[in-house]
Structure 1
Amino acid sequence: MTKVNVYVVRHGQTYYNIYNKLQGWSNSPLTEKGIEDANTAGQKLANLSFAAAYCSDTTRAQQTVQTILNLNESGSVKKAQSTPFFREEFYGYYEGTNMDEAWYVAGAPHGVPTFKEIVAKYSIGKAKDFLKEADPFHDAENNDEYWQRLNQGFQLIRANKQLHDNDNVLLISHGNTLLSMMERFAGDKYDLSVRPDNGSVTKMILTGQDVKVEYYNH
């Protein structure tokens, strides 16, 4: 494998998305709109032939990826490989908490009481560190723990001996994970104060050495 095209789709809308709750390793079902999001993404990608598909092992990601694969006209991949490596950030004690309240607890002691202010002054990575610090159990992932896990996901793709140069790979992941990838791989190219749309498509180029972003949140 020299390089592969990775099409990253954020899962369809869930009830926790509507309720403004942190949803990392916890899970809530897709809404009717969430099912539409998955169908819309499937229609966007229907004419692409995929050599492999991956998703986080949450049901919201699994349902989204299966919808997309069912709509794919090439039909070359029937089922995705589910893995915890591509899960959303683990929010620990704050799983299921109102997002604004959780980020206030994490950021206010540092003078940045909202997620946007944490990101503007520090980074998305630092937001992870602040949340773990605020977690009374310290179970939430900090930035290093998060990337150790996510990098294993990229290594899983790289280790797929069935992939060839310029193959297309489908990957279903999550909102904060997309933001985290854009911060690390796209520099300051995109406004990361706004979460990517449910069902949006981002294209990345994965090589044996690095990851480059071709476009984001389409």
Structure 2
Amino acid sequence: MAKYQIYLVRHGRTWFNKYNKMQGWSDTPLAPEGVEVAKKAAHALKDINFAAAFSSDARRAIDTCKLIVDENINHANITPQKLMEFREEFYGYYEGMNSPEAWYMVGQPHGAATFAEIIAKYGMDATKDFMKEADPFHDAENAEEYWTRVNKGFEKLDEIAKDGDKILLVSHGTTIRSITDRYNDGNFDVTVSPRNSSLTMMTRDNGQNTVTSYNQMLD
């Protein structure tokens, strides 16, 4: 297996981001300011010689990925590809709901009033388990379901990556937080959300992930 770098970028700001709504498998387009911040990320990353580019299959991630690839020095040799495995967490019943209200409903039975408070008290995986528990339909992903999916995505990257490759991966806020929480050895504060079009850097070495930076703004 190879050792390679993953440039993990959050998509640009969307309308649901602007309105602070739960946006897991739901999808809204990039807002005008989201396009602009994605263009800034594209400019900042234009000289990185990406070997490949991937996004989740959500339109907000696909569009952000295309903006970055179009400006890249290697754009003629890159065809962005979709990997559904790197979708955002599925929030089930809570999709589209006001975010603070949803996380209060999920956390309140456990003595936590906010998403950040649940993370601080119980960890990222607990936010997923608590959400599935609170979902009256139990459709939301729990931690086991979520990581089974995401790990399949990393395995797909391993199939194409070569030693020394730099790979662009455009994904989502909670997914980037979750990956950082699991693989950062406590160096980064994941109670703080990655900003839209921010960069998180990972090294994947023989199937082992290490997050080396988190939530860097690109401008």
Q: Do the two structures share a fold, i.e. TM-score over 0.5? A: yes
1:174 is matched with 172
1:210 is matched with 208
Distance 2:178 2:166 in 1: 22
Amino acid at match of 2:198: S
Which secondary structure does the structure 1 equivalent of 2:215 belong to? Answer: coil
* Ranges in structure 1 where 5+ consecutive residues have no aligned partner: none
2:9 is matched with 9
CA contact (8 A) 1:16 1:22 kept: yes
1:194 is matched with 192
1:101 is matched with 101
CA contact (8 A) 1:54 1:83 kept: yes
Deviation at 1:30, TM superposition (A): 0.3
CA contact (8 A) 1:69 1:77 kept: no
Deviation at 1:77, TM superposition (A): 3.7
1:37 is matched with 37
1:67-101 alpha-carbon deviations (Å, 9 max, x no partner): 00001022254321102100000000100001111
1:92 is matched with 92
Percent pairwise identity: 48
Q: How does 1:104-143 map to 2 (within 5 A)?
A: 104-143=104-143
Deviation at 1:168, TM superposition (A): 0.6
* Ranges in structure 2 where 5+ consecutive residues have no aligned partner: none
Normalized against structure 2, the TM-score is what? 0.96
User: How many residues in Structure 1 have an aligned counterpart in Structure 2?
Assistant: 216
Q: How does 1:138-177 map to 2 (within 5 A)?
A: 138-160=138-160, 163-177=161-175
Which secondary structure does the structure 1 equivalent of 2:193 belong to? Answer: coil
Deviation at 1:175, TM superposition (A): 0.3
Distance 1:77 1:27 in 2: 29
Which secondary structure does the structure 2 equivalent of 1:159 belong to? Answer: helix
CA contact (8 A) 2:12 2:60 kept: yes
Distance 1:2 1:156 in 2: 13
Bigger Cα displacement from structure 2, 77-86 vs 174-183:
77-86
Distance 2:206 2:37 in 1: 32
Which secondary structure does the structure 1 equivalent of 2:203 belong to? Answer: strand
